[in-house]
């Protein structure tokens, strides 16, 4: 998080400095950057101190890490969710919303450990139908439907 904040702040700062922005715009950026830099340093020092104290006391908790061990954690599933969402966002313009969302829900249900085929089919079909009714029929949203339109034209 501190690294991300510093990276973004540096990018914004260099972009504006090199892009001949007005002095007032640069001033506002400077006003925001000063506390961000100070706070990043404070957080880093705080984390290092916590880690040092934990090491000295022989504790297991390093600063900042979530050490909740009461529940089993599966990092594969959030990774799968992030990847499949990324792929969906990338391909929805070509595949259209019906095919993309159907595939996405199918993959995610299997990834989440659902093994009953009837349930997978019902949840997938039900969700896609519901979003079609709500977002297309009622809210009239222009969801991408490229491949679908092409297939319909071809047929």
Partner 1 sequence: MLEGFQLMLANSWIVPVGVVIGILVGAMPGLTSSGTLSLLLPILLVLPSEIALMLGVCIYAGAEMGNSFPSVMLNIPGTPGGAVTCLDGYPMMLKGEAARALGICIMASTIGGLVGSIAAIALTPNIAKIALHFGPVEICIVVLFGLTTIARLSSDGMARGLLAGFFGLLLATTGTDPTYGQQRGTFNIVYLFDQLPVVAALIGLLGFSEVLMHAEKHVARLVESVDVHAAGPMAWRGIRQGFRDVLHKPSEWIRASLIGLGIGAMPGAGASVATFVAYQQSHAFASPERKQEFGKGAHEGLIAADASNNAVVGGALVPLLTLGIPGSGSMAVLLVVMSYHGLAAGPTLFTFNADTAYAILWSLFFASGFVLAIGTILAWFAWRIAMVNLSYMVPVISVFCLLGAFTRNGYVFDMGVMLAFGVLGYIMKKYRYPVVAMLLGIVLGPLFEENFMRSWRMGFGEFDVFWESQTALYLWGLFALTLVGPSLVRCSRRVYARITGR
**Alpha-carbon dihedral angle through residues 76, 82, 84, 88, given to the nearest 10 degrees:** 180
> 11 or 52, CB closer to partner 1?
11
Could you give the CA distance from residue 83 to residue 105 in angstroms, rounded to a whole number?
13
> 59 or 86, CB closer to partner 1?
86
> 25 or 149, CB closer to partner 1?
25
Paired tokens of 4: 């991300």
- Rounded alpha-carbon distances, angstroms, from residue 7 to 17, 32, 39, 41, 42: 15, 14, 14, 14, 17
We find the least distance from the C-beta atom of residue 55 to partner 1, in angstroms, to be: 19
Could you give the CA distance from residue 21 to residue 17 in angstroms, rounded to a whole number?
6
Chain residues that interact with partner 1, rule: CB under 8 A: 1-2, 4-5, 8-9, 11-12, 15-16, 19, 21-22, 24-25, 27-29, 31-33, 35-36, 39-40, 42-43, 46, 64-66, 71-75, 77-78, 80-82, 85-86, 88-89, 92-93, 101, 104-105, 108-109, 112-114, 119, 123, 127, 131, 134-135, 139, 141-144
> 30 or 55, CB closer to partner 1?
30
φ/ψ bin of 141: left (φ > 0), alpha (ψ from -120 to 50), beta (otherwise): beta
């Amino acid at each position: 998080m501190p690294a991300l904040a510093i990276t973004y702040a540096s990018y914004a700062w260099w972009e504006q400095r090199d892009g001949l922005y007005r002095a007032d715009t640069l001033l506002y950026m400077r006003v925001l950057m000063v506390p961000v830099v100070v706070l990043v340093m404070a957080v880093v020092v705080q984390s290092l101190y916590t880690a040092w104290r934990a090491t000295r006391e022989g504790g297991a908790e390093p600063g900042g890490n979530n050490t909740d061990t009461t529940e089993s954690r599966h990092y594969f599933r959030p990774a799968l969710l992030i990847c499949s969402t990324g792929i969906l966002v990338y391909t929805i313009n070509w595949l259209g919303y019906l095919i993309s969302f159907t595939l996405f829900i199918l993959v995610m249900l299997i990834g989440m450990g659902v093994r009953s085929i009837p349930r997978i089919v019902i949840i997938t079909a039900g969700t896609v139908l519901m979003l079609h009714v709500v977002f297309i029929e009622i809210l009239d949203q222009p969801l991408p439907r490229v491949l679908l339109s092409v297939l319909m034209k071809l047929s």
